[in-house]
Amino acid sequence: METPIAAITAFVLDEFLPDVGHGGLDPDYDLVAGGVIDSLGLLKVLAWLEATYDFPTDEVDVGPDDLATVAAMARLLAGARPQPATADAP
Amino acid sequence: MVEPLDIAAAVATHVARRPAATALAWQGGAVTYRGLDELAADAGAGLRDLGRAPGEPLGAALTKGPAAVALVLACLRERRPVLLVPPDLAPATRTALWARAGCRYGLPHGDPRAPEAVPHPAGPATAASPAGGAGDHPALLLTTSGTTGVPKVVPLGGGAVGRFVAWAIDRFGLAPGTAVLSHAPLHFDLSLLDVWATLSAGGQVVLVEPGREVRPDHLHRLLSVHRVEVVQAVPMVYRLLLGSPATAGAPLGHLRHVIFTGDHLSPADALRLRDLAPAARLHNVYGCTETNDSFAHELGDDPFDGARGGVLPIGRPLPGVSAVIVGPDGAEVGGAGEGELWVSTPFQTTGYAGGGGPQPFAPRPETPERPWFRTGDLVARDATGRIVLTGRRDHQVKVRGVRVDTAQVEQLLRTHPHVVDAAVVAAPDPVGGHALHAVVQRAAGSGLDSLALRSYCAGRLAAAAIPSSIRLGDLPLPRTSTGKPDRRSIAAALATS
């Protein structure tokens, strides 16, 4: 069975980056900062997660950071919160 | 003309009279007027540790929340002009903007105790020019939604802001306890009504959380739970609400005023808004950052009344606002006719701070005390005096309520080393108003893909200016007989594919 990372990557490529090959998207690439997904694009992603994985968008508190990368979306699905940012360097 | 209202003094009155009343509704909780006062006092103490020269503005990148509102309030109290910039602006652009406006310090996280010194390679900073005529020194400095490069800085004088706030309180009946939604970010001019007029009136500001601005379920919940009475937003927000199952069969009976601005809302959507907000008066408001609100049209029983080609009229000038239509020959159009709209308002700036390109301001004899702003909007006036927007003098379109210049997006794409040519067309979008589509000829053999090109755009274009779709190919773009990219045939090809 396809892993969530692979399925999400395929969806993002299909929907937002049709000319980019499968190896071309790093799961940690920031799709929002990189201009791939805008605010309305995030709605599309949410609707897809809901339709594909029965993700309860009404019950789970989803913030933009949860959808910024393929890896973050996979973590969201797995019920895990995103890893906290690394502490400031001294 | 309306007397300007002093925001800091007005808020202080409410702190004294109704300290336990809600000032800000935020993340399910509330910040009272006393709480806001304490937050602002703390921010003020941090501000005083930062030196200042007379008239020198402070830069601030603010993510919406109680701390951000308190920081701006502290600046207003300290009579310290503050330049608000989008929090997601690329750091280099942000610093350039602060430098241009004459800021010595900027607050990249909105925290007065974590300032950033702004380098001024060209010598000492020049303070922003006075904004609203003699004695009206800048209180707030906003930016225009620039497509590329560094946005222009729009200084708004304390008098100009105060007159606007007084007008808004009167027009929309804001009073102690009135709940108003704050949807737009704090650096948008819309916040002058949503946040600052509301707080000046002793009302409660219901803050939409950053990142959730386009979640119709979130917006509907806020409007309903907080019994919001006044809402102002770009048409996209209403289209999202109308299209969401979350709102079906759940009308918002508390809404008294629904204001749409920044783009076109169709009369058909306005009709559907009546079901969502059955008790509300609907207002189509026209304005821009430079002049603030200039025209308003309240919809009658038949929203189609006065509409032309599916576009609602912008109505009549607000009190104290002067407007003329200037024809292609430069002469004023009297009566019915078409031309460019020029306005002069009691709420306006007198010019961009620190230059930043051509100044679309010019004097006219009607109001010697302040200049006129050439809006760039083409309008038509019918025999009854009603004005409808018909287009633009340039290549600007509205994407999600934000002004974007497609010619500037094309130019930016062409600066990528592997781009030979680029054309950008705007197509109607059912939610965002317009969506941009780019067709790009890349250098043969370069293998440039849209991910690389998007990353290139991300640090150089405003978010709304990044095209929704980018098609790359190795073949030349179709051209007109004069050698320009044939945008019409490109748009037609995109529409059919």
Confidence of residue B121 (pLDDT cuts 50, 70, 90): low
Could you tell me how many CB contacts below 8 A there are between chain A and chain B? 56
B89 and A CB contact within 8 Å: no
What proportion of chain B, given as a percentage, has pLDDT over 90?
67
pLDDT tens-digit series, residues B445-466: 999 999 999 999 988 888 889 9
pLDDT of residue A60: 79
CA of B63 vs chain A CAs: smallest distance (Å):
13
pLDDT of residue B410: 93
pLDDT of residue B149: 64
| B90 pLDDT above the threshold of 90 | no
pTM of the model: 0.88
pLDDT of residue A1: 52
Question: Taking residues B278-294, what's their average pLDDT?
Answer: 96
B74 or B88, higher pLDDT: B74
Q: How many CB atoms lie within 10 A of CB B479?
A: 13
In B, minimum Cα distance to A46 occurs at: B215
- B378 in helix, strand or coil? strand
The side-by-side arrangement of strands in the sheet containing B58-61 is: B116-117, B105-107, B58-61, B82-85, B138-143, B153-157
| B232 pLDDT above the threshold of 60 | yes
| B24 pLDDT above the threshold of 50 | yes
**Residue among B465, B466, B427, B422 at smallest CA distance from B147:** B465
Question: Taking residues B218-235, what's their average pLDDT?
Answer: 96
pLDDT of residue A68: 92
* Tokens representing residue B89 in the block: 């602006």
**Residue among B280, B211, B214, B175 at smallest CA distance from B64:** B211
Tell me the chain A residues in contact with residue B212 when contact means C-beta distances shorter than 8 Å: 63-64
Q: Are strands B22-26 and B204-207 parallel, antiparallel or unpaired?
A: parallel
* Residue B346 near residue B309 (C-beta atoms within 8 A): no
The contacts of residue B484 (CB under 8 Å, 6+ apart) are: none
In this complex, do B450 and A19 lie within 8 Å of one another by their Cβ atoms?
A: yes
CB burial of B379-416 (b: ≥16 within 10 Å; e: otherwise) equals bbbeeeebbbbeebeebbbbbbbbbbbbebbbebbeeb
Confidence of residue B273 (pLDDT cuts 50, 70, 90): very high
Name the residue among B213, B400, B449 with its Cβ closest to that of A19: B449
pLDDT of residue B463: 85
**Residue among B128, B10, B118 at smallest CA distance from B60:** B118
> What ipTM describes this predicted complex?
0.79
pLDDT of residue A79: 82
Bridge partners (DSSP) listed for residue B433: B429
Mean pLDDT rounded to a whole number for chain B: 91
In this complex, do A33 and B458 lie within 8 Å of one another by their Cβ atoms?
A: yes
Question: Taking residues B174-200, what's their average pLDDT?
Answer: 97
In B, minimum Cα distance to A65 occurs at: B211
pLDDT tens-digit series, residues B49-67: 988 888 899 999 999 999 9
How far apart are alpha carbons B168 and A82 in whole angstroms?
Answer: 42
CA of B392 vs chain A CAs: smallest distance (Å):
25
- B187 in helix, strand or coil? coil
* Residue B82 near residue B58 (C-beta atoms within 8 A): yes
Confidence of residue B431 (pLDDT cuts 50, 70, 90): confident
pLDDT tens-digit series, residues B142-179: 998 666 667 889 999 999 999 999 999 999 999 999 99
Tell me the chain B residues in contact with residue A33 when contact means C-beta distances shorter than 8 Å: 458
In this complex, do A40 and B400 lie within 8 Å of one another by their Cβ atoms?
A: yes
CA of A1 vs chain B CAs: smallest distance (Å):
27
pLDDT of residue A88: 46
CA of A60 vs chain B CAs: smallest distance (Å):
12
| B2 pLDDT above the threshold of 80 | no
How far apart are alpha carbons B11 and B247 in whole angstroms?
Answer: 34
In this complex, do A40 and B472 lie within 8 Å of one another by their Cβ atoms?
A: no
pLDDT of residue B33: 98
Choose from A9, A15, A17, A50 for mutation: most chain B CBs within 10 A. Answer: A17
- B218 in helix, strand or coil? helix
The secondary structure of A33-64 as a DSSP string is TTTSS-HHHHHHHHHHHHHHH---TTTS---G
* Tokens representing residue B94 in the block: 């942000």
In this complex, do B211 and A63 lie within 8 Å of one another by their Cβ atoms?
A: yes
**Residue among B394, B304, B284, B296 at smallest CA distance from B340:** B394
Question: Taking residues B27-45, what's their average pLDDT?
Answer: 97
